[in-house]
Amino acid sequence: MKVGVLALQGAFGLHERVLNRLGVAAVQVRTAQELAEVDRLVIPGGESTAISKLLDANGLADPLAERLAGGLPVLGTCAGLILLASEVVDGYPGQRCFGAVDAAVRRNGYGRQADSFSAPVAVAIDGWQSAFPGVFIRAPVVESTGAEVEVMAELDGVPVLCRQGSAVASSFHPELADDDRIHRWFLEQE
């Protein structure tokens, strides 16, 4: 299995490190050719506006849309969630969202950088006995989800980990936790 990490902006190196710890030789994806060669993709946190513009500038937006529509397994964290959502409530005009997860999100919904926090997140995955240490940094808030979205974790009644088909999206940063379970689970999905 070849796992790519979108490496245009943001915390891609941290995801790469987690994947390497799990025995996966992750590759950085910056071109359409590199995207075409991966079996799975991680879209990291960062600045969703910058990532969106860089996808366009690097000719990756349309190839990524095609791969996602074709069922490419993807894990999007923080800004990655924003890009995977079907609607960005407070996005800039023309903000790219791919609709892989039928959700409306609000950027920085939990507040600014100074409002960042950590909280235990109970994840509905069979066999998980303990909460996942969620790290929320300028995290998006999921305001609504469609009928086909499986909410796998909530914080104070708000979805923070969702799945629709082969797309998994998280408001928090699993790559910052000292816990590889979400990445491992993502790799094990069919």
Superfamily of domain 3-188: Class I glutamine amidotransferase (GATase) domain (3.40.50.880)
pTM here is 0.95
Rounded alpha-carbon distances, angstroms, from residue 160 to 13, 32, 43, 133, 148 = 22, 30, 16, 12, 16
Task: Return d(Cα 22, Cα 54) in angstroms, integer.
Answer: 29
Mean pLDDT score across all residues of the chain: 94
Q: Which residues are catalytic?
A: 78, 173, 175
**Please, are residues 108 and 140 in contact by the beta-carbon 8 Å criterion?**
yes
Give the pLDDT of residue 158.
Answer: 96
**Tens of pLDDT along 22-76?**
999 899 999 999 999 999 999 999 989 899 999 999 999 999 999 999 999 999 9
Q: What DSSP letter does each residue of 91-142 carry, written as one string?
A: PPTT-----SEEEEEETTTT-SGGG-EEEEE-B--TT--S-EEEEESS--EE
- The separation between CA 160 and the C-alpha centre of its own chain, rounded to angstroms, equals 11
